[in-house]
Amino acid sequence: MLYRIGRMLLTGLLRLCYRFQVFGAEHLPETGPVIVVSNHANFIDPIVVGCSLHQRQVCFMAKEELFRIPLFGGLIRRLGAFPVKRGTGDRGAFRAARAALVAGKVVGMFPEGTRYKDGKIHPLKPGAALLAVETGALVLPMVITGTHQLKPFRFPRIKAYVGPVLKLEAAADKKTAVRRGTEQIYARLMELWEKSGGGG
């Protein structure tokens, strides 16, 4: 209930302030494990992803420091977030994400690994592909435009482009499957990025 109410309020705010539009949200499967992968330019990107996919709740990895903030940490836990230690290959966060997928949930990830302000798609870390290979989850690619231009008192148009789900190809061994899967995800993100007008 809290998630749905928050999503409704934030969606309204995005539409009012940033003329928010979503294209392709119908590609999200109604059931089953899904990994949503998106580019990442601004701290509000998880909000944009969640508001774009109104059919289901999206659980996010969030940096560990956020969970130490009084009240806010408890709130984001209730909204389905789980902590990750950045730059350490945190096994606990990976296990939490894997458990969520095994339970049939939707997990949101930003496989570039950090925020980039240039509006482009950058090389991906292998974590999303590894999770997809290990759990059999479908991968839902998304590209967000406009958030890289966000500044105080500046209100760019924000758009989200969602593509068809991707089932990663099988391979003789896990390492090869993850490498190829990462390449597949990157290619899909680039297709969406070009469709969006190159992030403009």
Measured CA distances, 161 to 3, 76, 78, 93, 175 (Å): 22, 25, 27, 27, 30
pLDDT digits over 45-90, tens only? 999 999 999 889 999 877 778 788 887 777 777 777 877 776 555 6
Mention every residue, 6+ apart, whose C-beta is less than 8 A from residue 175: none
Longest dimension (CA), the chain: 52
CATH architecture of the domain covering 2-195: 3-Layer(aba) Sandwich (3.40)
The answer to whether the beta carbons of residues 165 and 140 sit under 8 Å apart is: yes
- Domain locations along the chain: 2-195
Average pLDDT, the chain: 89
Is residue 41 very low, low, confident or very high in pLDDT (cuts 50, 70, 90)?
very high
Tell me what pLDDT residue 90 has: 64
Helix, strand or coil for residue 98?
helix
pLDDT digits over 82-118, tens only? 777 765 556 777 888 999 999 999 999 999 988 998 8
Tell me what pLDDT residue 194 has: 93
The answer to whether the beta carbons of residues 74 and 83 sit under 8 Å apart is: no
The top-scoring range by mean pLDDT among 84-93, 159-168, 189-198 is 159-168
CA 106 to chain CA mean position, Å: 10
Question: How far is residue 14's CA from residue 12's CA, in Å, rounded to a whole number?
Answer: 5
Is residue 200 very low, low, confident or very high in pLDDT (cuts 50, 70, 90)?
low
The answer to whether the beta carbons of residues 86 and 63 sit under 8 Å apart is: yes
Measured CA distances, 71 to 45, 51, 67, 68, 162 (Å): 21, 22, 9, 9, 32
Unique residue bearing structure tokens 């958030």: 147
